[in-house]
Amino acid sequence: MKRLYVSGRRVDTLSAENRGRYARVRMPHELKDIAFDATMRAAAPHQKNRNPVDRCIDIRDQDLREKIRVGKVSVTCVFVVDISGSMGAEKRMESAKGAVLSLLEDAYKNRDRVSLVAFRGKDAEVVLPPSNSVDLAYKQLREMPTGGKTPLSHGLMKGYEVLMNEKKKRKEIIPLLILISDGRANIGYGRNIKEELMSIAQRCKDDGIYTVIIDTEEVRRSAISFKLGYCREIAETSGGAYYSLSDLSAGAVSSIAHREKDFLLSAFT
């Protein structure tokens, strides 16, 4: 099992609406929460050249600094699982179920929520809406039929939509999308499947959704080893983490999910 960040992404904070612990400062984007101490320090070296009147400090736009606050954060994790007719569909689903339940067992610590989207045939379905209930997960994660075509665009888009809806409701969540697939899409919204997938992946990156791509495609052994799926390219475009996983067990997927969730939590606190 190998983890690869295909694109360097810095995790930026933060706490919305001027709440949380004052951690550091930045140049303002939309000035809402002035860091007076840092602003004064930025202005101080220039006072001799500005000729302040009546001992007042001359503060200018370039001196202004804004507070960065870090609050209590939680992760909403959406598993997007390929249960199409490609080999290993049942194993992918079982490993995802195990990872969902594993994350939910300690979800109460950070108020985390977990969701599961499954895709096959011509569409994707939200099997488990975002929840922190183990009981609900056991109830909702029923046996699901596998087989059919691989509508990867639909699955990725559904996961994106679930997380964007969560971001609107709970502004300080960290959105995490974990895709488990061999990446071999063969049906899309239109004719250009690759273009669709890259467009959705770019939207994830632009909207601050952190992606983890677990590629379950087996490497074809010939004179040159190669893969046919789109998983690596989705990871590259979304700026996410990429895993090529031959051992698709619940324990392996759970380990990845916990590791990535903990990484994000540590970066935000």
Tell which of 33, 49, 70 closes a domain. 70
> Are residues 188 and 90 part of one domain?
yes
Cβ neighbours of 107 (radius 10 Å): 21
Distance CA 189, CA 209 (A): 22
Distance CA 184, CA 201 (A): 16
Q: Cβ-count burial of 27 within 10 angstroms (0-12 exposed, 13-18 middle, 19+ buried)?
A: exposed
**What is residue 92's predicted lDDT score, i.e. its pLDDT?**
81
User: What single-letter amino acid sits at 49?
Assistant: N
140-151 average pLDDT score = 81
Beta partners for residue 113, in sequence order: 76
Into how many domains does the chain fold?
A: 2
Is the CA virtual torsion 220, 224, 230, 231 positive or negative? positive
| Stated pTM of the model | 0.75
> Are residues 186 and 56 part of one domain?
no
> Are residues 130 and 52 part of one domain?
no
Tell which of 70, 87, 105 closes a domain. 70
Task: Give the percent of the chain with pLDDT over 90.
Answer: 28
Q: What's the domain range around 65?
A: 21-70
8 A C-beta contact, residue 217 and residue 234: no
Nearest to 122 by CA among 154, 145, 90, 146: 154
> Are residues 116 and 29 part of one domain?
no
Q: For 170-193, what is each residue's pLDDT tens digit?
A: 877 899 999 988 888 888 898 898
CATH of residue 84: 3.40.50.410
Distance CA 194, CA 146 (A): 23
> Are residues 84 and 66 part of one domain?
no
8 A C-beta contact, residue 117 and residue 127: yes
Distance CA 97, CA 89 (A): 12
> Are residues 37 and 78 part of one domain?
no
> Are residues 59 and 187 part of one domain?
no
> Are residues 248 and 176 part of one domain?
yes
**What is residue 225's predicted lDDT score, i.e. its pLDDT?**
44
> Are residues 263 and 229 part of one domain?
yes
Q: Which residues have C-beta within 8 Å of that of residue 46, sequence separation ≥ 6?
A: 58, 60, 63
Tell which of 51, 70, 89 closes a domain. 70
> Are residues 262 and 188 part of one domain?
yes
Q: For 65-75, what is each residue's pLDDT tens digit?
A: 887 666 667 88
Q: For 40-65, what is each residue's pLDDT tens digit?
A: 888 888 887 887 676 678 888 888 88
**What is residue 159's predicted lDDT score, i.e. its pLDDT?**
97
> Are residues 87 and 50 part of one domain?
no
Band of residue 139 on the pLDDT scale cut at 50, 70, 90 = confident
> Are residues 118 and 58 part of one domain?
no
